[in-house]
A and B are shown apart, each in its own frame.
Chain A
Amino acid sequence: MTSALRIEQRDASAVAVIELHGDVTGDGEDPIAEVFSSVTSDGPATVLIDLADAHYINTSGISVLIRLAMEAKKDGHRLLVSGTSPHYKKVFDLVRFSSFVSMYDTEQEALASLE
């Protein structure tokens, strides 16, 4: 099956924003890790994963985000997540991902938290 994930990366207020569109699943692990690595290769960075347009997230996709959090912690980067729907926020809360990674309803709220 073709992955229904599209990744876009841009910079906003000294934060690297990685937008994940479509399906966030285990199939997206390599391309997501590649983009994450490229935005963190120049030293400590703040990275915001925006899920506002992620229509389908499964626990394999959450595992991909856990691996990013692991890489971020190991290398001194800061990882934030924004844009989860109320349903997926509930799932992130259930597995306690949100206890370890700061999550915000919107990108604006995430950026404001850094000011």
Chain B
Amino acid sequence: MVRTIELKIPSESGFEKVAMNLAGDCAAMMGMTGERIADVKTAVSEACINAMEHGNLHDVSTKIYVTMTIDQDRLAIDVADEGRSGVATIDVDAPDVGAQIDGLEAPGGMGLFVIKALVDEADFVPPELGRGNQFRMVIHVNPKDPS
């Protein structure tokens, strides 16, 4: 049986913790372990922040739509924004923190990179809202075999 939880949060810093904690609760209910739950929570937090910053451009009148779908040992979490900044891409370079500390680059650009490292699958999918960006993360109870 597939179970779905839907959440709508303001595009305002701090509310990403509501989605983060709910995702952590879902992961725990599915039997994930402590570190795996921490990975889920950080990934969801970063996806919501990306949606607030890049998708909705910090417009507090916009919303972030979070859908969590539990299907046996698979947790899919979709984070959708209202697309104030155009189409997003999953292709990101590793952040060059050395260059950032040297003042050669602005600090930042780490969110998607971290998410991709923490979850089993991450990509933008066609938006069910018909507009904006929809980012999907998939996490299994047990990490997939890297081979």
Which residues of A pack against B, CB within 8 Å? Answer: 1-4, 23, 25-27, 56, 58-60, 62-64, 66-67, 69-70, 73-74, 86-87, 91, 94-97, 99-101
Contacts and interface: CB of A to CB of B under 8 A. Distances in A.
Given A70-B102, A70-B103, A86-B35, A56 B113 contact: no
B18 to A, nearest CB: 10
Contacts of A27: 13-14
A59 B108 contact: yes
Contacts of A2: 14
Given A67-B107, A73-B102, A60 B97 contact: no
B101 interface: yes
Contacts of A23: 14, 17
DSSP class of A's interface residues: helix, strand, loop or mixed? Answer: helix
B107 A70 contact: yes
Contact of A99 (B98, B108, B111): B98
Given A26-B13, A94-B117, A96-B95, A59 B101 contact: no
Interface in B41-78: 42, 45-46, 49
B17 A56 contact: yes
A70 B101 contact: yes
Given A23-B14, A27-B14, A70-B107, 16 more contacts: A1-B14, A3-B14, A23-B17, A25-B13, A27-B13, A59-B110, A59-B111, A66-B101, A67-B107, A69-B101, A70-B103, A86-B35, A87-B38, A87-B39, A87-B42, A95-B95
A52 B97 CA distance: 23
Given A56-B17, A63-B107, A63-B108, A91 B97 contact: no
B12 interface: yes
A94 B113 contact: yes
A96 B98 contact: yes
Given A26-B13, A62-B110, A97 B103 contact: no
B114 interface: yes
